Amino acid sequence: MRNVGGWLYDQVLAGWEVTVLAREHQDIRPLEILGARVIDLDSVLGTEHGMVPEALVASAELYSSDERIRAGLDRLLDRGSTKFSMWGDELPAEIDARFSASEYCMSRAAQVFKRHALVAAAVREPVIAPIESFRTSGFTSSKSGHLTSV
């Protein structure tokens, strides 16, 4: 949420259905403040529901730490029909070349809602920069902000 909260909020505001897959026992209130629907990650990973998302955002840490997630995300990347974005210090070498650096300029409303979400997540005195940085594959800009290659 620290890395993508503004982007998530702006996507909801633009009319997208934003669903976040969260680990069990995670406090979902901050995500709900941003307007996201939250589903248990393990319940989704345990099913083959055939739904292919148009866009997906994940942390590089999550990708690296869970084989089930890595396998699922790799399948989506190989299909090429899902716009993909990741954040984190370093992407795994096997996928790094498929991504380019991008920045997202969030709306003022997103900055306010992101601050409230971070406070709800017990982040003390959050600093909200107007720009969020990602590594992207296949993204274009949204109506409410710009996701641009840098």
Least Cα distance to 69 among 125, 61, 37 occurs for 61
Residues 6+ apart with CB under 8 A from 125: none
Rounded Cα distance between 1 and 4, Å, is 5
- Above 90 in pLDDT, residue 83? no
**Confidence class of residue 140 from pLDDT cuts 50, 70 and 90?**
low
Contact 3, 132 (CB under 8 A): yes
pLDDT digits (tens, 9 = 90+) for 44-54: 666 665 566 77
Highest mean pLDDT among 11-25, 34-48, 63-77, 122-136: 122-136
pLDDT digits (tens, 9 = 90+) for 90-132: 788 888 888 888 899 999 999 999 999 999 999 999 999 999 9
Query: Considering the entire predicted model, what is its pTM?
Result: 0.80
Q: How confident is the prediction for the chain on average, in pLDDT?
A: 82
